Amino acid sequence: MLAIDGTFLDFKQLDLLATQHTALHRLDPRAKVLTTACFVLCVVSFDRYTISAMLPYLLYPAVLIAASGLPFGYILRKILIVIPFALVIGIFNPVFDRQVIMHVGEFAIWGGWVSCASILIRATLTASVAIILVALTGFPVICAALEKLGMPKAFAVQLLFLYRYIFVLTDEGVRTIRACQLRSFGRRGLSLRQFGSLVGHLLLRTWDRAERIHMAMLARGFSGEFHTTGPQGRFGSKELIFMGGWSALFIVLRLYNAPQLLGGLFAGSLS
């Protein structure tokens, strides 16, 4: 549980990264949100057996990391958190899909293994651009941009509450776990009865904490409006070039398998 605490606290580093002043950080958040949405739509629309055609999409997160000076190691660690969940989804594909779709030497490759690899690549790509978007913009600013783009205000506020107070829930859970460990005299693990009591106490503590937060917000005149401190520039020519250029590239890569075309041209030149 303490390792989980460290992971969630480490996510706060994303908000600090969003306070930098590079050219990508200063872009209007709506341009970055729409470009990310186009990227995700193109990636998830590929066939389940597609692998090579998605590899060129690695260019986008690589360019953003290099141009904005984001720490590659930190972004990679955040992406690795998502990979096990994607692996759970795709690990059973080879059990149900045993259709042979290719041969590598004497080995037959089932479609299930290919689709599992495709799921992992999609998860890596989509998780990377989502994490980079938050690191370049900040989640409160993203919520404000989504509201400007037409998202219902209530939904945007709920997203912001979820992001802001997930850390509060984590803190309560860590304190509860630590108190249980201090009273267990070195015993490891929890019985079902102890686990149920622990979850009940956590629910009561978070409920009480939520009421205190709500009363504090009302005392400060909260009326449903969140005031963000991030960049709120206008949508100008730089944003249009950024969004239009990258979106056009994503669509072209979706329509044409670039690695396959380059391989054909290379093989043709050799022959």
**pLDDT per residue as tens digits for the range 48-98:** 888 889 999 999 999 999 999 899 998 998 888 888 888 888 888 877 777
Do 1 and 135 share a domain, yes or no? yes
Do 209 and 253 share a domain, yes or no? no
Cα separation of 250 and 43, whole Å?
9
Distances (CA, A) of 245 to 60, 210, 232: 11, 44, 22
Q: Categorize the per-residue pLDDT at 2 as very low, low, confident or very high, splitting at 50, 70 and 90.
A: very low
Q: Categorize the per-residue pLDDT at 217 as very low, low, confident or very high, splitting at 50, 70 and 90.
A: confident
- Please state the domain count of the chain: 2
Q: Categorize the per-residue pLDDT at 1 as very low, low, confident or very high, splitting at 50, 70 and 90.
A: very low
pLDDT at 229 over 80: no
pLDDT at 231 over 60: no
pLDDT at 271 over 60: no
Say if CB 243 and CB 34 are below 8 A apart: yes
* Domain span at 51: 1-150+232-258
Highest mean pLDDT among 37-51, 84-98, 207-221: 37-51
How does pLDDT run across 150-175, given as a tens digit for each residue?
888 888 888 887 877 777 777 777 77
Q: Categorize the per-residue pLDDT at 36 as very low, low, confident or very high, splitting at 50, 70 and 90.
A: very high
142 part of a folded domain: yes
pLDDT at 128 over 90: yes
67 part of a folded domain: yes
Do 204 and 88 share a domain, yes or no? no
Do 207 and 76 share a domain, yes or no? no
Q: Which amino acid is at 57?
A: Y
Distances (CA, A) of 141 to 15, 94, 206: 10, 42, 26
Nearest CA among 227, 19, 25, 217 for reference residue 140: 227
Cα separation of 259 and 253, whole Å?
10
Do 45 and 167 share a domain, yes or no? no
Angle made by CA atoms 125, 56, 67, in degrees to the nearest 5: 75
Do 160 and 146 share a domain, yes or no? no
pLDDT at 268: 66
* Mean pLDDT along residues 123-130: 94
Q: Categorize the per-residue pLDDT at 252 as very low, low, confident or very high, splitting at 50, 70 and 90.
A: very high
Query: By percentage, how much of the chain surpasses pLDDT 90?
Result: 25
Nearest CA among 88, 75, 69, 66 for reference residue 20: 69
Q: What is the CA radius of gyration of the chain?
A: 23
How does strand 100-104 pair with strand 107-110? Answer: antiparallel
227 part of a folded domain: no
Query: By percentage, how much of the chain surpasses pLDDT 70?
Result: 85
End-to-end CA distance of the chain: 59
pLDDT at 178: 76
Do 135 and 23 share a domain, yes or no? yes
pLDDT at 10 over 70: no
Domain boundary among 200, 221, 242: 221
| Range list of β-strands (E), the chain | 100-104, 107-110
pLDDT at 174: 75
226 part of a folded domain: no
pLDDT at 246: 95
Torsion region of 221: left, alpha or beta (phi above 0 gives left; psi -120 to 50 gives alpha): left
Do 11 and 101 share a domain, yes or no? yes
Q: Burial of 150 by CB count in 10 Å (0-12 exposed, 13-18 middle, 19+ buried)?
A: exposed
